[in-house]
Structure 1
Amino acid sequence: MNVLVVGGAGYIGSHCVRQLQVAGHTPIVLDNLVKGHKESIPAGVSFHEVDLADSPKVIEILKSEDIDIVMHFAAFIEVGESMQDPLKHYENNVAKTISLLKSMREAGVNKFVFSSSCTVLGEEAEPPFNETMPLRPISAYGQTKADVEVILDYCTKAYGMSAAIFRYFNASGAAEGGIIGEDHSPETHLIPIAIQVALGQREKMMVFGNDYPTPDGTCLRDYVHVDDLSRAHIAAFPLLEEKGRLLTYNLGTGTPASVLEIIKTVEEVSGRPVPYDLAPKRAGDVPSAYADSAKAKSELGWTPQYGTIRSIIETAWAWHQSHPRGYEDA
């Protein structure tokens, strides 16, 4: 199928582009490059530098590229920033998604895959997190994702479109061989921060709290490889042939790792120290968060190929070691 990957120059989107090629589909990238990197797009892939708010151009692309399905990864993801500037996140994550859905209707494209987040479930949820838990986000970012989930529920019922929602836990790792990887500015994710310390780009890192009710006192999180996430999205395509269908899946390995485990594993993989200081707990950080992905495994036949935190970190290290300045070294 011809697949429009919105945000296809970003971290998850760029990996999905390559997995689409592996699966025999034709990816077409639409990205405004506010957060994405043009260098991450494979040679020969059709690329349109367009903002979702430009409906006429989006409609033209949907028609001219004969798009069968749209995958949407173009969100702002910084939780802290979303609390400081919620309107920025609502405009990009909600208003522009509405604009995209309207453009799809105008162009007659009825299949949609949406990148959501486990943050829609809030801090009161008890792990493992499944798809039946109520939406109780505690950040503006999480609320924007929850709002789009609700919008998609109504759209599938009203317009006969079909949609798949994927709630990620901690997307991690990089493509095999270090071809593409994670390059955020600012970087807020634990694994790349620990790797930056190992590379000497940061003097040390902070560990926020060490007295949680977990085996080593630090937070437990579910890390899932970005290519595994991408493969799950593609596995949903056949199920979207049924009009009016809404699918929701939580994606994670189900085996969480602690902050100190991440640091230790980065040290082992890199062969370098990762010094850290202890800092007070952060508001909103829950002791443990990990996925129940039984539904994705049952309905999609999905099984993570990167089942251990070490296998994930090894791919991240390969990328960061060969691209210490990210895509500036591409």
Structure 2
Amino acid sequence: MILVVGGAGFIGSHVVKELVEKHQVVVLDNLSTGHRDAVDGRAVFVEGDLGNIDDLVMVFRSYPIRAVMHFAANSLVGESVVDPLKYYQNNVASTLTLLRVMNRFKVRNFIFSSTAATYGIPDADLIDETTPTRPINPYGHSKLMVEQILSDFSKAYGLQYVVLRYFNAAGAHDSALIGESHDPETHLIPIVLQQLLGKREKISVFGADYNTEDGTCIRDYIHVTDLANAHILALEALMIGKKKAEVYNLGNGLGYSVKQVIETCEKVTDLKANVEITDRRPGDPARLVASSQKILNELGWRAERNLEKIISDAWKWHCEQRY
């Protein structure tokens, strides 16, 4: 069986939905930010906490776990700055607890959902795996710490792992059964769609005077199903011994500006957004786009779904929102 920790969250639930087509799956989630209804019914669901060693031991004793996929992290940059304890406790200490139990039960295959926030504010137009990692907030630091731990565990205990770094997962499953639901919502695409549905008064664009084609920031967006497929490809490469210890970026290689995202939302929905241009946010770089050339070369993965598909699937889910 494959254990997916954080499998009731946005990315985790989409991975589970694809994973159950090929594997038996058990999900562990404390539902602090995830949704029970988002977990595919073909997976076993266990409500428990990543940081609770008794919960973890119970799962490893009860099920023949062959690999672990880890999505159970706190991921709000701003929150990490005001409450770093929460981020180091959950993202680092709790992950150590998981790795300790994996080592005890001799489970060696590990997929880690990391972040391109480990790069901080790079001076590269296209970020690849050789770009220096210089995180600028506790969230990015916590993820990079885990990456270092994985490297050390690989050398000492034979852990096999793949780290996947990416910026903005977006969209929804094309069935509209699961999608993106955060409280509070901080991601651009759902914020725009909520405004178009009348759930928000306006959309704030933080700066329109950047050195980009239309003056707004450019960011990397990938359809969540494309991300799910990358995680499964990486898992299968580990399980057949093709990979031992790898780091891959997942990017669309192009990037989309804030203005492009809003205009595409308007096109898909045939509605007009109420946009307010406000001051820049401190520390926002003009462009953050990742290259996925390495994973394309080695595992054959690329982002298949474009911005319009990302938004049309998200819109369908928002219109039929179930949780």
Deviation digits for residues 157-215 of structure 1 (CA, Å, limit 9, x no counterpart)? 11001000000121000000211000000000000000001000001110000010000
Taking a change above 3 Å as real, the CA distance of residues 25 and 125 of structure 1, as seen in their structure-2 partners, is: farther
Matched, 1:10 2:9: yes
What does 1:92-131 align with in structure 2 at a 5 Å threshold? 92-131=90-129
Give the partner amino acid of 2:204. M
Q: Distance in 2 between matches of 1:243 and 1:53?
A: 30
Unaligned runs of 5+ in 2: none
Q: Distance in 1 between matches of 2:19 and 2:5?
A: 13
Deviation digits for residues 128-154 of structure 1 (CA, Å, limit 9, x no counterpart)? 110111210001111111111111111
Number of residue-to-residue matches in the alignment: 322
What does 1:132-151 align with in structure 2 at a 5 Å threshold? 132-151=130-149
Q: Distance in 2 between matches of 1:248 and 1:236?
A: 10
Moved more, 51-60 or 158-167: 51-60
Alignment correspondent of 2:53: 55
Q: Distance in 1 between matches of 2:111 and 2:181?
A: 23
Matched, 1:251 2:250: yes
Q: CA deviation at 1:52?
A: 1.4
Q: Distance in 2 between matches of 1:144 and 1:67?
A: 26
Contact 1:69–1:111 (Cα < 8 Å) also in 2: yes
Partner of 1:228, secondary structure, is: helix
Contact 2:20–2:43 (Cα < 8 Å) also in 1: no
Task: Identify the match of residue 233 of structure 1 among 231, 234, 239.
Answer: 231
Contact 2:13–2:39 (Cα < 8 Å) also in 1: yes
User: TM-score under structure 1 normalisation?
Assistant: 0.95
Deviation digits for residues 67-88 of structure 1 (CA, Å, limit 9, x no counterpart)? 1100000011110000000001
Runs of at least 4 residues off by over 3 Å: 241-244
Q: CA deviation at 1:221?
A: 0.6
Q: Distance in 2 between matches of 1:15 and 1:238?
A: 17
Deviation digits for residues 192-250 of structure 1 (CA, Å, limit 9, x no counterpart)? 00000100000111000001000000000110011111111111124324499211100
Alignment correspondent of 2:193: 195
Q: CA deviation at 1:276?
A: 0.9
Q: CA deviation at 1:127?
A: 2.3
Contact 2:292–2:302 (Cα < 8 Å) also in 1: no
Q: Distance in 2 between matches of 1:180 and 1:237?
A: 22
User: TM-score under structure 2 normalisation?
Assistant: 0.97
Give the partner amino acid of 1:221. R
TM-align CA RMSD: 1.2
Contact 1:59–1:104 (Cα < 8 Å) also in 2: no
Alignment correspondent of 1:86: 84
Give the partner amino acid of 2:300. G
What does 1:207-222 align with in structure 2 at a 5 Å threshold? 207-222=205-220
Q: Distance in 1 between matches of 2:5 and 2:92?
A: 14
Q: Distance in 2 between matches of 1:279 and 1:112?
A: 42
The percentage of aligned residue pairs carrying the same residue is 46
Contact 1:156–1:244 (Cα < 8 Å) also in 2: no
Q: Distance in 1 between matches of 2:69 and 2:96?
A: 14
Partner of 1:254, secondary structure, is: coil
Partner of 1:178, secondary structure, is: coil
Q: Distance in 1 between matches of 2:201 and 2:75?
A: 25
Contact 1:211–1:218 (Cα < 8 Å) also in 2: yes
Unaligned runs of 5+ in 1: none
Q: CA deviation at 1:27?
A: 1.5
